[in-house]
């Protein structure tokens, strides 16, 4: 079992700094790729930096209650916690972060933590459509995370451990040692779940930009919106780090890390530019028909 040392804290903050900047650039790059598919120019690569600086510099005198403004804080805590308690680079003491034995269970909690915080915040907004957003978000989030949880349990049974670093260790030595080849059904279930958790088309049923001009990006403002934007850069990378460690052999250095994260992220972007948005019931039905059976079958076979 890894022992906690205070020196890990500054290294973990360094990891957070690297991932945040990588997320800012990667998010803009993916937006530009999606725009090019639609024959548009897209946003500048540096646009996310401008938006964050502007919003962090704004203040508000409007009040909706404490829980409303704690929603973005919980959302960001979910993304940051998920990243900091998962090893970023395998075999590196500097970038093992605050991981420990059994950290896979804690990671699963952090995946859902931010969404629950935002649901509580939306409930105190007083907006008549807040309940619609909460029901949409939690319904899809629950159904999307179910096959991911099944895939994780399958991997934990396969490698007989709940420690992420041990799972990565079991995949070293050859490309064919990756879970992608040793347990492809679990990987398939997890990657289908990943599409839903990224909240990109066809699963962007919460923001629904083509349907309603409301939602968290318009209800929140100033530095609270900046907190949500910051999490939007961190959480997808943190979720991809878990997927990379569990199913794709992890990463032993930063170039491999950047390459694998880019390719996994590109998978969600590719699906998003090809398929139109689902309705809520279509999204839930899709996960029940395709993703959940794969997760169950992965556990049965293991």
9-13, 37-41, 96-100, 169-173: least confidently modelled range: 96-100
Instruction: Evaluate whether residue 2 is within a structural domain.
Output: no
Instruction: Evaluate whether residue 243 is within a structural domain.
Output: yes
90-99, 231-240, 291-300: least confidently modelled range: 90-99
Instruction: Evaluate whether residue 1 is within a structural domain.
Output: no
Instruction: Evaluate whether residue 17 is within a structural domain.
Output: yes
Percent of the chain's residues with pLDDT above 70: 94
Burial class (CB in 10 A: 0-12, 13-18, 19+), 66: exposed
- The predicted-structure confidence for 257-299, as pLDDT tens digits, reads as follows 999 999 999 999 999 888 888 888 888 899 999 999 999 999 9
Instruction: Evaluate whether residue 3 is within a structural domain.
Output: no
Instruction: Evaluate whether residue 146 is within a structural domain.
Output: yes
More confident residue, 116 or 235: 235
> Domain of 35?
8-301
- The predicted-structure confidence for 167-199, as pLDDT tens digits, reads as follows 999 999 889 999 999 999 999 999 999 998 888
52-66, 96-110, 123-137: least confidently modelled range: 123-137
pLDDT of residue 215: 61
pTM comes to 0.91
Instruction: Evaluate whether residue 38 is within a structural domain.
Output: yes
Residues 6+ positions from 42 with CB-CB distance below 8 Å: 31, 32, 33, 34, 35, 36
| CB distance 238 to 79 below 8 Å | yes
- 243: pLDDT strictly greater than 90: yes
Instruction: Evaluate whether residue 180 is within a structural domain.
Output: yes
Q: What's the number of domains the chain is made of?
A: 1
Alpha helix (H) residue ranges in the chain: 8-37, 47-56, 66-84, 103-123, 130-159, 164-170, 179-182, 184-197, 216-219, 222-247, 254-274, 280-286, 292-301
């Amino acid at each position: 079992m890894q022992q906690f040392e205070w020196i890990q804290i500054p290294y973990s903050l360094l990891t957070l700094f690297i991932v945040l900047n990588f997320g800012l650039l990667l998010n803009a790059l993916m937006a530009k790729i999606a725009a090019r598919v639609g024959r548009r120019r897209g946003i500048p690569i540096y646009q996310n930096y401008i938006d964050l600086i502007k919003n962090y510099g704004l203040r508000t005198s409007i009040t909706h209650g404490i829980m409303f403004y704690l929603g973005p804080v919980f959302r960001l805590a979910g993304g940051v916690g998920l990243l900091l308690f998962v090893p970023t680079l395998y075999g590196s003491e500097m970038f093992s972060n605050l991981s420990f034995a059994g950290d896979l269970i804690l990671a699963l909690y952090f995946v859902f933590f931010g969404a629950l915080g935002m649901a509580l915040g939306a409930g105190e907004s007083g907006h008549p459509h807040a309940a619609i957003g909460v029901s949409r978000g939690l319904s899809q989030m629950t159904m999307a995370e179910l096959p991911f949880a099944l895939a994780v349990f399958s991997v934990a049974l396969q490698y007989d451990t709940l420690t992420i670093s041990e799972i990565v260790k079991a995949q070293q030595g050859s490309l064919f040692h990756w879970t992608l080849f040793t347990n492809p059904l679990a990987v398939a279930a997890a990657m289908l779940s990943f599409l839903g958790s990224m909240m990109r088309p066809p699963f962007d049923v919460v923001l629904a930009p083509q349907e309603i001009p409301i939602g968290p990006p318009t209800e929140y403002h100033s530095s609270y919106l900046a907190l949500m934007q910051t999490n939007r850069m961190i959480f997808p990378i943190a979720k991809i780090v878990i997927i990379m460690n569990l199913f794709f052999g992890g990463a032993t250095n930063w170039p491999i890390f950047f390459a694998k994260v880019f390719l996994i992220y590109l998978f969600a972007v590719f699906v998003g530019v090809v398929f139109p948005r689902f309705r809520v019931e279509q999204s839930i039905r899709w996960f029940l028909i395709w993703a959940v059976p794969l997760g169950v079958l992965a556990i049965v076979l293991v």
